[in-house]
Amino acid sequence: MDKDGTMTVDWHEWRDHFILNPLENMEEVVHYWKHSTVLDIGECLTVPDEFSEKEKRTGMWWKQLLAGAMAGAVSRTGTAPLDRLKVFMQVHASKTNTMNVFGGLKGMIQEGGVRSLWRGNGINVLKIAPESAIKFMAYEQIKRAIRGQQETLRVQERFVAGSLAGATAQTIIYPMEVLKTRLTLRKTGQYSGVADCAKKILQKEGIRAFYKGYLPNVLGIIPYAGIDLAIYETLKNMWLQKYSKNTADPGILVLLASGTISSTCGQIASYPLALVRTRMQAQASIEGAPQPSMLGLFKHILSREGVLGLYRGIAPNFMKVIPAVSISYVVYENMKQVLGVTSR
């Protein structure tokens, strides 16, 4: 609206904007730039998808969620070796035990063969569906509670609703996160499967072991989702101001780049909390080992290894971003065609 760049909108600018810009243009902006969960980079801390009333009435929402879940499953399976390496480096790498990407992969193959690179992937894929469904349902209920008599929600209210929905989903499926870490770090022959792993943890450590590292995990949602959304909105606005003269469609490369950059920045912000969570999950399995609190573990890592110690394993994490985004997008688009999801 602000044609003369004065950072204020006068009557003429206001009038011209609504007379000269057709309404469908705004719908196109919302349609193309909807912050979608199609980009699965292995972390489930994003704010849930926003669905229109029409999508809810026609049943398109569950088809989109199903397409997104399938895309996530294929994407995570394709990048599982890098994800396992990340967890190994988070737990085992230190100043004295330097571990690089190739050395870590080589060590895992020597210990359990090529198939061992996919340890923990089964449970990682299994938890996509319940998490997506719980997050979506919780998001709709929380939005309704916050909205009250209002027609729409403000951005900060959507962020609060999304974060609370994420926290609800994480609380319910968190035991699966713990199982994923234990199965990822297991040695050959330690567990026969998911059920055996759960049974042994319950017998040896009790029910509390399934919630080790829960606090840093939930706290990580706020910086991740906040920075992810803020950077995505900034990139979207920059593109719209510079290039959206005739169309609101930015093209797939711009959308993928914006989603990838924003998600990666969110990951960087929440990574120290993710590392502390993984260490707490792993240390609970070592008999007689100290079980430090979240703050205790932060202090220990900072005093022994400095700030860099909080970013162990971030290299394989970055390496998997582009293949994960590419795979999830291609699978998502194909699944949409199979399920008959219309883009408009």
Place of tokens 């193959």: 109
Minimum mean pLDDT among 2-6, 102-106, 196-200: which range? 2-6
Is pLDDT above 80 for 330?
A: yes
pLDDT score, position 98: 78
| 3-state SS, one letter per residue, for 185-209 | HCCCCCCCCHHHHHHHHHHHHCHHH
- Range name among 26-40, 109-123, 130-144, 207-221 with the lowest pLDDT average: 26-40
Distances (CA, A) of 223 to 172, 237, 261: 21, 21, 15
228-339-80 Cα angle (round to 5): 50
Q: What is the pLDDT, as a whole number, of residue 322? A: 86
Q: How far is CA 149 from the centre of its chain?
A: 31
Query: How far apart (Å, rounded) are the C-alpha atoms in residues 19 and 14?
Result: 9
CB-based contact 327:74 (threshold 8 Å)? yes
For residues 247 and 240, the answer to whether their CB atoms sit within 8 Å is no
Q: Is the pLDDT of residue 341 over 80?
A: no
Least confident range of 153-157, 166-170, 207-211, 265-269: 153-157
pLDDT greater than 70 at residue 310: yes
> Which helix (H) or strand (E) covers residue 123, if one does?
helix 121-126
Give the whole-angstrom CA distance, residue 114 versus residue 105. 9
Instruction: Express each pLDDT in 224-283 by its tens digit.
Output: 888 887 888 788 878 878 877 667 677 778 888 888 898 889 889 999 999 999 999 998
**Interval 34-54: pLDDT, tens:** 655 455 655 655 656 667 677
| Rounded-to-integer distance, Cα 197 and Cα 220, Å | 26
- Mean pLDDT of all residues in the chain? 84
Higher pLDDT among residues 159 and 81, named by residue? 81
Is residue 344 very low, low, confident or very high in pLDDT (cuts 50, 70, 90)?
very low
Of residues 247 and 83, the one with the higher pLDDT is 83
Distance of CA 274 to the CA centre of its chain: 12
- Alpha-carbon gap, residue 133 to 65, rounded angstroms: 8
Residue whose pair of structure tokens reads 């971030």 in the numeric block: 314
d(CA 255, CA 57): 27
pTM (two decimals): 0.80
* Per-residue pLDDT at 281: 92
The pLDDT of residue 67 is 85
CA distance 130 to 172: 9
Split at pLDDT 50, 70, 90, the class of 184 is: very high
Q: 68: Cβ–Cβ under 8 A, 6 or more apart, which residues?
A: 36, 37, 38, 40, 49, 132, 332
pLDDT at position 129, please? 85
Tokens 């909108």 label which residue?
Answer: 9
Would you call 5 helix, strand, or coil by DSSP?
coil
Tell me the average pLDDT across 154-176.
86
SS3 of residue 46 by DSSP: coil
Kindly tell me if the per-residue pLDDT of 127 is higher than 60. yes
Res. 343: pLDDT tops 60:
no
